[in-house]
């Protein structure tokens, strides 16, 4: 089955507003077995839109649009669909009533221009929009489907999950589609691709590779008539990949480094504190992005210069013997943080974020350490020499290493 997506609105063509709806829909459709052949961003122009829809109807089974459902003169998606299908729009008294109620509930009188949001064409049924005034349209026409959705991403996703997805699933013959994302660290895209090359030729399950901020991701999609069969297909490839990539795999699907670390801390009832230099507070900030992190995060220190490191418990002789940017200082920082905040675990991180070298060490050199009862661990990184990347990658690597340490049974500190 072929699909096509339109993001409608002149503001999308100015370069300021990025279209996030189309990638969202494209990702969802790939899981439904609908192949997206084209994504088009087009302005608020009736003729352009109507022509585009006519061409799309000739070549695609499913057409999805976002935007252009507002109450202003510029909002022309409904009108253009009507033109491309040769149908007439009429005001639906039921929709009009719902719209008036929407305004009434907010102590407002419905402006006259909003009437245009209550129109329908014969082949369209309306899709309720609980978050705004623009209902969507679900159209069946000569075995083709057109779905028109509002442009604000939260309204669109709400409608997608609650209204559109069930309608499409019901329409698609029941085949089971399973997906799994495997997340790796410390390998380049080319290295991952080479290691799992033998799985790329297979059509089902299919395999995709994506470079992300937290490493290289692999996505497996398996399709079959039954769930058992789909799981079986998936399992074979997943096992094969796990064997090839081994300990480079750090997580699956929606796992994030900070949530995994947080869960591992909460599971074991341990608390944590940090002393950061080159990451400048990003480690603490990412740790505390997780709701409920106040249960395990005791506190953090950002000690940018040598003096503040010394004043906060890093021994003088460590820095003078090994330098501020060293494994030894990272470990001393971890220990100092742990002691200062009376935490079970301390993290220390020091390095060169750039733009210039420090202590003759190149930009991207980072040392990190984890200190806990019965076990101290430290490690070195050599990251791409760009300030934001050094900070971000160092934090990801530390959180993944922390999770690993917490899950090692032999490292159990209590």
What CA–CA distances, in Å, run from 127 to 24, 149, 361?
19, 8, 60
Nearer to a copy of itself, 83 or 394 (CB): 394
Letter string b/e over residues 212-227, b meaning 16 or more CB atoms within 10 A of that residue's CB? eebbbbbbbbbbbeee
Per rule CB under 8 A, count of chain residues that contact a copy of itself? 66
Report if residue 301 touches a copy of itself, rule: CB under 8 A. yes
Q: Which of 345, 333, 334 is nearest to 373 (CA)?
A: 345
Instruction: Give least dist CB 228 to a copy of itself, A.
Output: 26
Q: How far is the CB of 219 from a copy of itself (least distance, A)?
A: 7
Q: Does 302 bind a copy of itself (CB under 8 A)?
A: yes
Pick the closer one to a copy of itself by CB: 41 or 133.
Answer: 41
Q: Which is nearer to a copy of itself, 7 or 264 (CB)?
A: 7
C-alpha 96/C-alpha 118 separation (Å) is: 5
Q: Which residue's CB is nearer to a copy of itself, number 126 or number 371?
A: 371
CB of 291 to a copy of itself, least distance (A): 5
Q: Which is nearer to a copy of itself, 49 or 264 (CB)?
A: 49
**Residue of the chain from 8, 9, 22, 129 that contacts a copy of itself (CB under 8 A):** 22
Cβ nearer to a copy of itself, comparing 274 with 329: 274
162, 169 contact by CB (below 8 A): no
Stretch that binds a copy of itself, among 5-13, 190-198, 230-238, 401-409 (CB under 8 A): 5-13
CB of 125 to a copy of itself, least distance (A): 26
Task: Report the site for a copy of itself in 66-105 (rule: CB under 8 A).
Answer: none
- Binding to a copy of itself (CB under 8 A) within 332-391 occurs at 341, 353-355, 387-388, 391
Q: For residues 305-334, which are near a copy of itself according to CB under 8 A? A: 305, 308
**By CB under 8 A, residue 54 contacts a copy of itself:** no
- State the minimum distance, in angstroms, from the CB of residue 217 to a copy of itself: 8
Nearer to a copy of itself, 65 or 126 (CB): 65
38 near a copy of itself, rule: CB under 8 A: yes
Taking CB under 8 A as the binding criterion, the range among 26-34, 122-130, 132-140, 319-327 that sits at the site for a copy of itself is 26-34
Q: Cα separation of 209 and 216, whole Å? A: 7
Q: Contacts with a copy of itself in 219-278 (CB under 8 A)? A: 219, 274, 276
| Beta bridge pairs of residue 299 | 273
Closest distance between a copy of itself and the C-beta of residue 252, in Å?
16
Q: Does 409 sit near a copy of itself (CB under 8 A)?
A: no
Write the CB contacts of 307 (distance below 8 Å, at least 6 apart in sequence). Answer: none
Nearest to 222 by CA among 254, 179, 252: 179
Pair of tokens at residue 156: 């669109």
CB of 411 to a copy of itself, least distance (A): 25
Report, in Å, the least distance between residue 41 CB and a copy of itself. 4
- Binding to a copy of itself (CB under 8 A): which residues in 150-209? 208
Site string for a copy of itself, 277-296 (x = CB under 8 A): --xxxxxxx-xxx-xxxx--
- Binding site residues, a copy of itself, CB under 8 A: 11-18, 20, 22-30, 35-43, 45, 48, 208, 210, 217, 219, 274, 276, 279-285, 287-289, 291-294, 297-305, 308, 341, 353-355, 387-388, 391
């Amino acid at each position: 089955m072929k699909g096509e997506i339109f993001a409608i609105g002149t503001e999308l063509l100015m370069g300021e507003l990025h279209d996030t709806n189309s990638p969202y829909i494209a990702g969802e459709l790939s899981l439904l077995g609908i192949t997206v052949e084209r994504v088009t961003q087009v302005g608020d122009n009736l003729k352009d839109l109507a022509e585009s829809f006519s061409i799309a109807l000739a070549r695609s089974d499913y057409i999805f649009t976002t935007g252009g459902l507002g109450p202003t003169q510029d909002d022309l998606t409904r009108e253009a669909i009507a033109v491309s299908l040769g149908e007439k729009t009429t005001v639906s008294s039921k929709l009009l009533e719902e719209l008036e109620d929407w305004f009434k509930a907010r102590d407002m009188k419905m402006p006259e221009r909003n009437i245009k949001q209550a129109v329908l064409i014969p082949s369209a049924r309306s899709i309720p929009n609980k978050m705004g005034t623009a209902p969507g349209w679900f159209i069946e026409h000569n075995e083709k489907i057109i779905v028109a959705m509002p442009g604000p991403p939260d309204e669109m996703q709400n409608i997608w999950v609650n209204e559109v997805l069930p309608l499409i699933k019901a329409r698609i013959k029941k085949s089971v589609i399973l997906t799994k994302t495997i997340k790796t660290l410390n390998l380049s895209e080319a290295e991952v691709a080479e290691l799992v090359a033998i799985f790329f030729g297979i059509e089902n399950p299919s395999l995709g590779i994506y470079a992300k901020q937290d490493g290289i991701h692999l996505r497996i999609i398996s399709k079959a008539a039954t769930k058992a069969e789909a799981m079986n297909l998936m399992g074979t490839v997943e096992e094969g990949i796990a064997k090839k990539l081994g300990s480079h795999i750090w997580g699956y699907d929606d796992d994030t480094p900070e949530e995994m670390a947080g869960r591992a801390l909460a599971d074991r009832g341990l608390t944590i504190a940090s002393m950061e230099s080159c990451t400048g507070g990003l480690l603490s900030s990412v740790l505390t992005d997780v709701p409920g992190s106040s249960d395990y995060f005791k506190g953090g220190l950002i000690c940018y210069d040598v003096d503040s490191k010394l004043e906060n418990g890093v021994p003088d002789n460590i820095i003078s013997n090994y330098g501020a940017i060293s494994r030894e200082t990272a470990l001393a920082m971890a220990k100092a943080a742990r002691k200062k905040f009376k935490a079970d675990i301390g993290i220390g991180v020091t390095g060169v974020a750039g733009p210039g070298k420090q202590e003759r060490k190149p930009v991207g050199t980072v040392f990190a350490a984890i200190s806990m009862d019965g076990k101290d661990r430290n490690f070195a990184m050599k990251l791409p020499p760009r300030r934001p990347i050094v900070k971000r990658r160092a934090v990801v690597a530390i959180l993944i290493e922390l999770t690993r340490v917490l899950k090692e049974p032999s490292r159990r500190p209590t």
